[in-house]
């Protein structure tokens, strides 16, 4: 088509703002809805979006053929419930949620015929928030995961794919909702649970001046958006609890080697760790 691709972004925070910035750069015409007047004004002034609204956004929704929801999971589900009567036939939309099972089922069930939700998860983020921190650099090394169900069509998949391509993600792949949530329980949620526990185990801020880079790297994610992450953790609690148990058992095994002064078993564990970690190096 000769017309520019158009998309409406609902939720113009860090991630929504970065989507808006990246898609605008890639030639899309981007509109946005947010509760914050400042976010909309900021994005319009800088040419990140064309049109925007905080209230009276009905026509923006009604005219949208493609939408990206960049909201927290529960807010996303609530929004769709409340405004789905505005969706036009043929609408395809995606999201950015970090957990999928609860979100995908509830939303796909409530949609009318001819409206499609293709779920996706951009595995990128920052310890800052707001459209004023938007940047597209964070997408370049990151994974974009699409989690289709039997309700999705090739057109839906193509939309998620082109969004990811135009935003410049390093790798685009597809997982089932269950595979996704189990994977995320390990690579993302368990690591956040660990970083938070390390910070909360005792108040050791007096040690700040002695810490090296390894401690800083490990706890960088302990600065955590409490609203979003409590949602993500609770939505995925079954998988996350399993991961916490498996990890705790292993750490206790290591402690056992200390109790027994068992150098050989410690070395064996370090050897396994080193071998496995090498598989995670960036290629």
**Residues 133-172 contacting its own copies, CB under 8 A:** 141-143, 145, 171
Contact window for its own copies (CB under 8 A) among 6-14, 147-155, 160-168, 217-225: 217-225
Stretch that binds its own copies, among 10-18, 37-45, 80-88, 225-233 (CB under 8 A): 225-233
Does 220 bind its own copies (CB under 8 A)? Our answer is yes
Q: How many residues bind its own copies (CB under 8 A)?
A: 89
Contact between 247 and its own copies per CB under 8 A: yes
158 or 254: whose CB is closer to its own copies?
254
Helix (H) or strand (E) holding 37: helix 37-45
CA nearest to 93, candidates 124, 112, 65:
65
> Please, which residue, 42 or 76, has the CB nearer to its own copies?
76
Of the candidate residues 88, 153, 178, 230, the single one contacting its own copies (CB under 8 A):
230
Q: Look up tokens 């929004």; give the residue.
A: 79
Site for its own copies in 182-211 (CB under 8 A): 183, 186-188, 190-205, 207-211
* Position 224 contacts its own copies (CB under 8 A): yes
Site for its own copies in 9-48 (CB under 8 A): none
Scanning the structure block, which residue is given the tokens 């609860």? Answer: 102
Residues 6+ apart with CB under 8 A from 46: none
> Which residue from 45, 85, 150, 279 is in contact with its own copies, where contact means CB under 8 A?
279
Decide if residue 1 touches its own copies (CB under 8 A).
no
176 is a site residue for its own copies (CB under 8 A): no
Sheet bearing 171-174, strands edge to edge? 120-122, 143-146, 171-174
Q: Does 96 bind its own copies (CB under 8 A)?
A: no
**Contact yes or no for 54/29 (Cβ under 8 A):** no
Buried b (16+ CB within 10 A) or exposed e, 24-60: bebebebbbbbeeeebbebbeeeebbbbbbbeebeeb
Cα–Cα dist 250/246, whole Å: 6
Q: Shortest gap between Cβ of 103 and its own copies (angstroms)?
A: 17
């Amino acid at each position: 088509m000769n017309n520019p691709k158009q998309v409406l972004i609902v939720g113009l925070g860090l991630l929504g703002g970065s989507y808006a910035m990246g898609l605008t750069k890639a030639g899309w015409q981007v509109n946005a809805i947010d509760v914050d007047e400042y976010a909309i004004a900021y994005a319009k002034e800088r040419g990140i979006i064309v049109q925007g609204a905080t209230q009276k956004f009905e026509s923006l929704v009604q005219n949208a053929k493609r939408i990206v929801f960049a909201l927290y999971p529960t807010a996303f589900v609530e929004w769709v419930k409340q405004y789905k009567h505005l969706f036009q036939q043929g609408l395809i939309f995606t999201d950015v949620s970090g957990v999928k099972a609860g979100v995908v089922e509830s939303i796909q069930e409530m949609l009318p015929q001819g409206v499609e939700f293709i779920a996706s998860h951009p595995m990128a983020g920052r310890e800052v928030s707001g459209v004023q921190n938007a940047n597209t650099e964070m997408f370049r090394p990151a994974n974009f995961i699409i989690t289709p169900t039997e309700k999705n069509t090739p057109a839906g998949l193509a939309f998620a794919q082109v969004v990811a391509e135009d935003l410049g993600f390093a790798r685009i792949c597809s997982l089932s909702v269950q595979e996704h949530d189990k994977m995320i329980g390990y690579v993302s949620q368990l690591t956040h649970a660990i970083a938070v526990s390390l910070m909360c185990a005792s108040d050791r801020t007096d040690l700040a001046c002695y810490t090296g880079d390894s401690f800083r790297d490990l706890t960088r994610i302990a600065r955590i958006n409490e609203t979003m992450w409590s949602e993500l953790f609770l939505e995925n609690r079954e998988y996350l609890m399993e991961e916490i148990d498996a990890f705790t058992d292993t750490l206790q095994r290591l402690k056992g080697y200390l109790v027994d002064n068992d150098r050989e078993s410690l070395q064996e564990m370090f050897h396994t760790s080193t071998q496995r970690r090498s598989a995670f190096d960036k290629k």
